[in-house]
Structure 1
Amino acid sequence: MQYLIQATKEKFTTPRQSVHPIEDHLQAAADWLLYAQSATPDDGIAHSYDIREKKWLASYPETTGYAIPTLYDYAKYYNLPQYAEAATRMAVWESEIQLADGGVRAGMIDAEIVAPTIFNTGQVLFGWAKAWLETGDERFKTSLIKGSDWLVAAQDKDGAWRRFSSPFTSSKLNSYNTRSAFGLVRAYQAIGKTEYLDAAIANVDWTLSRAQTNDWLPDNCLSENFDLTALTHTIAYSIRGILEVGVAAERSDFIEKAHKMAKHVALCQREDGALNAYYSPDWKTTVAWSCITGNSQMAINWFRLAQLTGDKELILHAKKANRFNMSIQNLSSDDLRIRGAIKGSHPIGGGYMTYRYPNWATKFFMDGLMLEQLFEKIENVG
């Protein structure tokens, strides 16, 4: 019944906590990611902790893959090698479970269906690229090339990925696969194969060819209503992919489009710093609860765009989103399964990862805070 008490309290009150220095929030989040790794029988990170069922879900290859760079960065910034060691173990595990064709499986490691999928493969490229650059271990380079080659081979001539969609989502054609294109950019930067960058550019060109005049992208959600709404989580995925491919390819049109999309989202930000979770094609909100992962991802996008375009207004939006998420992170619980973690929705009974603390919410939370710190250092030097 504890989960119902928490859900009710969050629905009818504002149970926000004191915001501590960023370092405190980062340490608690990093410790939780390692605790979530230790909660599994392998070296992957548990998909999430479910407070209703009081159990950890199995390791999740997709998000373990992109948590790897976060932990390497945290280890480097704070001179804490144990987090890099944990990241390396995750990368080894990802190589061990990579499918023979080079792809990465859909779903959790205990899923009955074992099938490669575009998005998950794109996300694990981030981990292999970072692990290769950090360690020089050839197994990570081999996995990175196999995964990237598989993605390129699976791409249609127009730049779309129509095959190998996840069997666990109802959306089959995904604008947010620009995030997979971003994974290919990381592979290009690590390996130097220009075909990876070319494939990434082709995907963003195709994606933007379908954009509405108000910069809205179709097919940009996980749910069956993906033509009618989009989740901030997937909106932010698509923006980041468009932006980073644009940076790597020196395509100002990509950067400009990402900037416009991010400005639309900024206009929707609530006074408390959160974003409502779903938006319609006219950039209007359709629900009252917030997807916490989307808040962090948009903070990252706003900081990056402020750096690249000089739009300083976006800094305030990013900091507000970070502060909201910091205010709902539990730093005092004796329960290590939730202390330092970031939940899927606020209130926790909201429609995304309901009653769960998914590992990627904590990963993106850390990325947003570390980017804020880095941004402030650059600003102070300037």
Structure 2
Amino acid sequence: MNLSERLRQKSLVLKDQFGIGLTRATDNRIHLDAAISWLKHAQDVTGNGGVAQTWLVRLNKWAPAYPETTGYIIPTLYRYATLTGDEDSRIRARRMADWEIEIQHPSGGVLAGALGDSDQPTVFNTGQVIFGWVRAFEEAGDERYREAAIRAANWLCDILDDDGCWRSWGSPMTGKQINTYNTRTAWSLARVHAITGERRFLDAAVRNGEWALTQAQPNGWLANNCLQDNQQPFTHTIAYAMRGLLEIGDYAQRGDLLDAARNIGDAMLDAMPANGRLPGRFNNRWRSTAHWSCLTGDCQLGINWGRLYQIIGESKYREATARILSFVKRTQRLDGGDPNTRGGIKGSHPINGGYHPWQYPNWATKFYADALMINEAIG
């Protein structure tokens, strides 16, 4: 690395640390339009219909298309199209859904990693693409999307252990075979139940939620819930697990699962400072173990609190969504000449933090857009 590049990177870190050049938070729609424009750009650079995994700041290049997150970006674009009337987002969402069918594994599952990383399916990625196929079917009525979702859901049910835990076909990218955050995968099975009425899918979703409860401490913290270090999970995976429990609990009318999700949400709310800058990792006493913020997890928790407000009605959850977004908004660059970063959300703040450092992962911007839209929906 030459001197000018070292100085550039040091400058980026210092600007984040001292708040130099941060965006002035403004109307949700301005931030949302910029985020969607970034996601469209991340799709365009691949040329195949999928969305590039991440913008690599240090390498100054895009990673290949990422099946997992392309799958759950589909509902985001449909949601945006419904909100704004943007037909281009609807067209792009269908291109993504079609691409996911083209690359679906013969087993019905979805490939691990970015395109080209693996030829094997994995549990979590499969669940996330199911969300896209289900929403595409609901929007377009094309039976191909329903059939793809059913094939994927059947594979997930076939490999689920009797106690509700997925112990095989975990991601080779993490090295961890047991993941409590697979409740978000289980939630996708509930979504397939919604378009099929097949009881098998809902039973499997609930069974995984019940297994997740066996991993909970009395304070609500979940074991086996991180990509890297189960002793101090990211807010990203904490939020994944919470959302799965929340949505399965709401759909299946299971108060115990809803209560577990609420316990997590309350713990995270209690830990959030007044400025909304939540630390990126937490140990089993709900104490932070990081000084940087995981922007992806921030956005996901904003969504989760918004959903708690919609389900339970307590104003503290609506206020929490607004507070955490007030921080994340300030980290989004709304202007500047680089389309690879303009409108996107970093993995961490500062940019060299411990979650996807020096990157703009597409799912950070996806969840940011979702958080902005739910913030609008709840007022």
TM-score (norm 1): 0.96
1:106 to 88, 92, 112: 112
Give the distance between the partners of 1:280 and 1:55, measured in 2 at CA: 34
- Residue 11 of structure 1 deviates from its aligned partner by 2.3
- Residue 191 of structure 1 deviates from its aligned partner by 2.1
- Residue 252 of structure 1 deviates from its aligned partner by 1.2
- Residue 375 of structure 1 deviates from its aligned partner by 1.0
Give the distance between the partners of 2:148 and 2:106, measured in 1 at CA: 10
Give the distance between the partners of 2:197 and 2:105, measured in 1 at CA: 23
2:348 to 345, 348, 351: 345
CA contact (8 A) 2:111 2:126 kept: yes
Read off the aligned partner of 2:58 and give its amino acid letter. Answer: R
Write out per-residue CA displacement over residues 196-221 of structure 1, whole angstroms, 9 at most, x where no aligned residue. 11100000001102211111110000
Aligned pairs, how many? 373
Moved more, 122-131 or 303-312: 303-312
CA contact (8 A) 2:180 2:215 kept: no
Read off the aligned partner of 2:232 and give its amino acid letter. Answer: T
Q: Equivalent residue for 1:11?
A: 17
- Residue 41 of structure 1 deviates from its aligned partner by 2.8
Q: How does 1:219-230 map to 2 (within 5 A)?
A: 219-223=224-228, 225-226=229-230, 228-230=231-233
Q: Equivalent residue for 1:192?
A: 197
Structure 1: give runs of 5+ residues left out of the alignment: 377-382
Moved more, 12-21 or 346-355: 12-21
Q: Equivalent residue for 1:178?
A: 183
1:40 to 46, 58, 69: 46
Give the distance between the partners of 1:182 and 1:168, measured in 2 at CA: 22
- Residue 192 of structure 1 deviates from its aligned partner by 1.9
Moved more, 19-28 or 100-109: 19-28
Q: Equivalent residue for 1:379?
A: none
Write out per-residue CA displacement over residues 190-245 of structure 1, whole angstroms, 9 at most, x where no aligned residue. 2221211110000000110221111111000000x21x111000000000000000
Write out per-residue CA displacement over residues 55-77 of structure 1, whole angstroms, 9 at most, x where no aligned residue. 00000000000000000010111
Give the distance between the partners of 1:22 and 1:34, measured in 2 at CA: 18
Give the distance between the partners of 2:66 and 2:153, measured in 1 at CA: 19
Structure 2: give runs of 5+ residues left out of the alignment: none
1:158 to 163, 167, 184: 163
2:357 to 348, 354, 358: 354
Q: Equivalent residue for 1:264?
A: 267
CA contact (8 A) 2:112 2:172 kept: yes
- Residue 15 of structure 1 deviates from its aligned partner by 4.1
- Residue 8 of structure 1 deviates from its aligned partner by 2.4
Read off the aligned partner of 2:216 and give its amino acid letter. Answer: A
Q: Report whether the alignment pairs 1:85 with 2:108.
A: no
- Residue 333 of structure 1 deviates from its aligned partner by 1.3
Give the distance between the partners of 2:22 and 2:197, measured in 1 at CA: 46
Give the distance between the partners of 1:194 and 1:38, measured in 2 at CA: 39
- Residue 3 of structure 1 deviates from its aligned partner by 3.0
Moved more, 93-102 or 300-309: 300-309
Q: How does 1:207-226 map to 2 (within 5 A)?
A: 207-223=212-228, 225-226=229-230
Give the distance between the partners of 1:328 and 1:251, measured in 2 at CA: 37
SS state of the match for residue 128, structure 1?
helix
1:64 to 70, 89, 111: 70
SS state of the match for residue 23, structure 1?
helix
SS state of the match for residue 321, structure 2?
helix
Give the distance between the partners of 2:18 and 2:34, measured in 1 at CA: 27
Give the CA RMSD over aligned residues. Answer: 1.0
- Residue 136 of structure 1 deviates from its aligned partner by 1.1
Q: Equivalent residue for 2:301?
A: 298
Give the distance between the partners of 1:207 and 1:119, measured in 2 at CA: 15
Write out per-residue CA displacement over residues 244-300 of structure 1, whole angstroms, 9 at most, x where no aligned residue. 000110011111111111000111112211210000000000010000000000001
| Identity among equivalent pairs (%) | 42
Q: Report whether the alignment pairs 1:140 with 2:135.
A: no
Give the distance between the partners of 2:335 and 2:352, measured in 1 at CA: 21
Give the distance between the partners of 2:326 and 2:93, measured in 1 at CA: 27
SS state of the match for residue 360, structure 2?
strand
Give the distance between the partners of 1:323 and 1:271, measured in 2 at CA: 10
Q: How does 1:317-336 map to 2 (within 5 A)?
A: 317-336=320-339
Q: Report whether the alignment pairs 1:22 with 2:28.
A: yes
Q: Equivalent residue for 1:49?
A: 55
Moved more, 174-183 or 132-141: 132-141
SS state of the match for residue 55, structure 2?
strand
SS state of the match for residue 357, structure 1?
strand
Give the distance between the partners of 2:369 and 2:266, measured in 1 at CA: 23
